Amino acid sequence: MPKDSSFLESVHAVFERSADVLKLPPGMRHQIRECRQVSRFTFPVKFEDQYRVFTGWCAVHSEHRLPSKGGMRFSLNVDQCEVEALAALMTYKCALVNVPFGGSKTGLQVNPKEFSDLDLERITRRFAHELIRREFIHPSRNVPAPDMGTSERVMAWIADTYRSRHPNDLNALSCVTGKPLSQSGICGRTEATGRGVQYGLREFFSYEEDVQRAGLTLGLKDKTLIIQGLGKVGYHAAKFLQEEDAVRVVGIVESDGALVCEDGLSIEAVFQHRRQTGGLKGFKNGTYIADGRSVLEKPCDILIPAATELQITTENADRIQAKLIAEAANGPLSFEADEILYQKGKVILPDLYLNAGGVVVSYFEWIKNISHISFGLMQKRLDEVHGLRLVEAIEASSGRPVPTALAQVLTKGTTEIDFVRAGLAETMRYTYREIREVLSVRKQVRDLRTAAFVLAIEAIQRTYHEMGV
């Protein structure tokens, strides 16, 4: 059995394949592919009468556009290769969906569950101090966001730490995104990546040619789904698909095992059970399987890996039976596993596209912070007045009152969440159309992943050419 490439090696391998399609010259190829800067540093935090030393990394992959953007990950599995791989993916992701950011990633080797809220805040603020003094957190240089092990609360601590060091910076709150609403966050950011997965799948299932290639039919209704990971991404993606698109969730895979039920599992019920008990075991309306990863191999229409990287490798790729693999996590497939699935004729919606919802809405939040005004603030009341006049005109011409439910819809003003969801939906729709056009037009492009990388690399190359590089 061939050895699987690492996460970083897998990203580089897809880049090289896509660069070959574009006949990218060696110098430009190296400029786009290589990480611009990687820093590793350690720092101590005192707990009562003892010190603990923590290790963190920050990788800035590209500054072809500023600021650089990327998540901040707190995990014991964080290392330099992972941070570099995630930073590179973020560069390509932003270029693909036309978000004017470079790519970066920040990681701290820590298990946040080991610490109280107070101790985690101390660790976070100390880490932020190290990053800020190196300008790895700055509104116009590098802007982190929540990722695995971090949250909007962590982002609020970091923003406050930055503001205390830069009290005269008018744009201080834009040094991070994914903040609480009370700290100039934006509606819909917590759900953004999961919502983007939903919108991406809706777009895929609207093209008959594409779904036929996967052996499926148009529309999401009644499609069977297995989801791996009930974190922020997996939970929201599965919840929206189940409640709004009538997808039937037949399997849920977590770190402590899995649940299966052919009649369907309630995502909300499982999520609440896991929150109360700490795991999936004991949930009454499903069969518990201790070997959770084996459930990835069960038949289904859609498999969504929404946990961590390298979950499908040469060890299990040949046994994957899902008709469509939708990568909600970053790098869930090794390069070799991707090749095995491609040879089997499986259709894969790549992470570069499907995972982009978070950075799209982070961009909206950053714009909101830089402009110092909320979306919809100056338009909501105007929309309400226009809607009211429309209702009055309809009633005057028809001589009958407009039904209450319809009148409420017509007179509802556009709110921030409406702008955010509309902007994200349009981004996911437009980007998928571009990807499938590249796949259909360029004969050397073999799949959706290569098409997405080709689009991203072309956009970055164009930026460098326009700058005179």
Catalytic residues: 105
Secondary structure (3-state) at 35? coil
Question: 304-316 in b/e burial notation, b at 16+ Cβ within 10 A?
Answer: bbbbbbbbbbbee
Gap between the Cα atoms of 124 and 317, Å rounded: 38
Instruction: Report whether 149 contacts 62 (CB < 8 A).
Output: no
Instruction: Report whether 30 contacts 72 (CB < 8 A).
Output: no
Residues in CB range of 14: below 8 A, 6 or more apart: 335, 338, 449, 450, 453
DSSP string, 38-69: EEEEEEEEEETTEEEEEEEEEEE---SSSSEE
Secondary structure (3-state) at 220? coil
Would you state the structure tokens that stand for residue 21, as one six-digit string? 């399609």
Please provide residue 108's backbone torsions phi and psi, each rounded to the nearest 5 degrees: -125, 130
Long-range (24+ apart) CB contacts under 8 A made by 284-289 are 285/261, 286/252, 286/259, 286/260, 286/261, 287/259, 287/260, 287/261, 288/257, 288/258, 288/259, 289/257, 289/258, 289/259, 289/260
Q: Regarding beta strands 102-108 and 68-74, do their DSSP bridges make them parallel or antiparallel, or are they unpaired?
A: parallel
Gap between the Cα atoms of 207 and 194, Å rounded: 21
Residue 468: Cβ within 10 Å count? 5
Residues in CB range of 205: below 8 A, 6 or more apart: 211, 216, 218, 219, 220, 223
Bridge partner list, 260: 251, 287
Instruction: Report whether 296 contacts 226 (CB < 8 A).
Output: yes
E strand residue ranges, 111-230: 142-146, 224-228
Residue 208 CB burial class (10 angstroms; 0-12, 13-18, ≥19): exposed
3-state secondary structure 77-131: CCCHHHHHHHHHHHHHHHHHCCCCCEEEEEEECCCHHHCCHHHHHHHHHHHHHHH
Q: Is the dihedral of CA 176, 180, 186, 190 positive or negative?
A: positive
